[in-house]
Amino acid sequence: MGYKLTFYIFLLYLYKMFVMKTKLTPDNILTIIKLYQTEIPSTHKLAEKFKVGHKKINQLLKENNIQINKKGGQTQMGNSLEIESTKSKMYSTSETKELVAQCVKTNIIIKDPNNLSGKLTKHIIELYGDVWLPANTYQRKKYEHINGKKWFEDYFKIIEVNKSINRTCKLCEWTTTDTSNKTGCFENHLVNSHNLPLNDYLSKFPEDIIYHPTHSKKLELTKFLSINSNFVTCNLCGEKMKSISNTHLKSKHNITTLEYKLKYPNNKIVSTSVSKKLSDLVKITNINMTPTWTSKGETEIKEFIESLGFVTNKGKNRKILDGKEIDLIIEGTNICIEYNGLYYHTESMGKNSSYHLNKTIDCNQIGYKLFHIFEDEWKTNEELVKRKLKHLLNVNDGIRIGGRNVKIQSITSEDKSFFLKNNHIQGSDKSNISYGAYYNDELVGVMTFNNKRNMTKTANGEFELSRFATNQNYVISGLASKILKRFVKDYSPTSIVSFADRRWTIDGDNNLYTNLGFTLVSITKPTYYYYNSKVSRYKRFHKFGFGKNNLKKRFPELDYTKTEKVLTTELGYDRIWDCGLFKYQLFINNK
């Protein structure tokens, strides 16, 4: 299995390398020209580096009047052995002077003229973005050999300045060689000798703030967090911060971000100002993004949404959600769609128990609603998914009737099952109470209840609302409320519980259930289904069928001292996780 997986990944890599086209930006073109004239005088190597055809490289070089080297006639830029044996040039100066690197664009001084710490590289990337950087020591040596200077000198001037050997307290004659106060000795001196905190000293001598960069950042952060929209408060310790990070939760409270989100589902973990910046970033990247590989199902969903009159932006940007991709973003709305191919959304492909839920919550934190469509739903229930999408986008085109125009009555198990299979994405259920809504003698809606389901552990007088669905060709206002009232009248329940899939119910406090008077009482963690493409290409199997008791009936030869996960893996099954459920409860006063 591992061999096949490696082979498939290799094929995908080849596809990306040789089939997919990369759109070259103006900056890419300038970099290509520069590299061709200095470092990489080969159109084939440049084509491989920028993932385009070498004819494309030839074309843009000619368009910019760059002479193309004949095959085998490239200018030799230094003997490889000679370059390898060359020692990198190290800049140095006298004992009373020191060399620093000064940014040619911002004039910022960095005390690392040889870039030993990598600070110059980091500054260049932050300032200029995607520019050419030497990938290894050989390339750096080669650049020096050809150009007589280090590669980063295109961005920095190496200048000589006087060494700052000592720093003197301006209140006395005390001096220290720790000019940047890394040890904290200057602050200790102020307290011990002058009974003066650093803030008061700096208010008298503000020019000395240059010696306290960390303190400056703390002051800036304190000022920033004094504005309500710039901070969120940790519910566990009360600390104010821009966003509640996993590092904070793990180090101070020993819980994960997912556990915190589940415990406080209605509390933000990102401040309003940071959320706005992220949301603005979404809009910017949507305009400038380059489409990448797209599955057939995702393309079909995109085309359907656009057929409804909407414009979709292809996501595929890993900066918006900290490395996670968004498949489709619908312009003019705050709705995002994820198409989850079954094979690529299993545990073995890196999609762990919190992957889908985290993406849902993270989108919600920046003002977007993310809906997940699994591949089997689209392939086997395409029309039902389309109907859901129309409902989400408020473009239902069914016949509109009011709940007062329908007749409610009990229906048979057969009628219920037939209706749900055609109108509910989860299909039929095993409920023992079913109501139907009829309009002109046509069954147009079904709601089912159950008081015998072990999973919900219903108490005496408590029922579960299991399914609610309407005919795909109708939009019926007030129907759910009407059927629910009839059920309450007939059975006098003490309470009713129900569950909503978080993949389709984004706002736990504003939905069909809350409109019916239900209260959100708990949130269940994500659960898993099993998948085996060899058994069924488009089917997720419920985990209940893979408990050890059920496995023993089907596979008695297995070693049942092993865990369920090990056994199912040996049988070729992998796990796919959902987003968990919202649990709602309606308390009935029958007096």
Q: Which of 350, 269, 298, 358 is nearest to 322 (CA)?
A: 358
Which pLDDT band holds residue 164 (cuts at 50, 70, 90)?
low
Which pLDDT band holds residue 177 (cuts at 50, 70, 90)?
confident
Look at residue 226 in the predicted model and tell me its pLDDT. Answer: 86
* Mean per-residue pLDDT of the chain: 83
Taking only the tens place, the pLDDT of each residue in 471-487 is 988 999 999 999 999 99
Which pLDDT band holds residue 272 (cuts at 50, 70, 90)?
confident
Spell out a b/e string for 84-116, using b for 16 or more CB atoms within 10 Å of the CB, else e: eeeeeeeeeeeeeebbbbebeeeeeebeebbbe
Burial degree of 166 (CB within 10 A; 0-12, 13-18, 19+):
exposed
Residue 376 has pLDDT above 90, yes or no: yes
Q: Is the pTM of this model over 0.85?
A: no
Look at residue 72 in the predicted model and tell me its pLDDT. Answer: 46
Query: What distance in Å separates the CA atoms of residue 323 and residue 317, rounded to the nearest whole number?
Result: 8
Query: What distance in Å separates the CA atoms of residue 100 and residue 261, rounded to the nearest whole number?
Result: 46
Taking only the tens place, the pLDDT of each residue in 30-44 is 888 888 777 677 777
Residue 461 has pLDDT above 90, yes or no: no
Which pLDDT band holds residue 455 (cuts at 50, 70, 90)?
very low
Contacts of 41 (CB under 8 A, 6+ apart): 69, 74, 75, 77
Look at residue 284 in the predicted model and tell me its pLDDT. Answer: 60
Taking only the tens place, the pLDDT of each residue in 61-116 is 888 888 777 654 444 445 566 666 666 667 766 666 788 889 988 888 888 888 88
| Average pLDDT of the residues in 488-514 | 92
Terminal CA-to-CA distance of the chain, rounded, Å? 63
CB 250 within 8 A of CB 256: yes
Highest mean pLDDT among 96-105, 222-231, 270-279, 510-519: 510-519
Rg, the chain, Cα only: 32
Residue 364 has pLDDT above 90, yes or no: no
3-state secondary structure 142-179: HHHHHHCCCHHHHCEEEEEEECCCCEECCCCCCEECCC
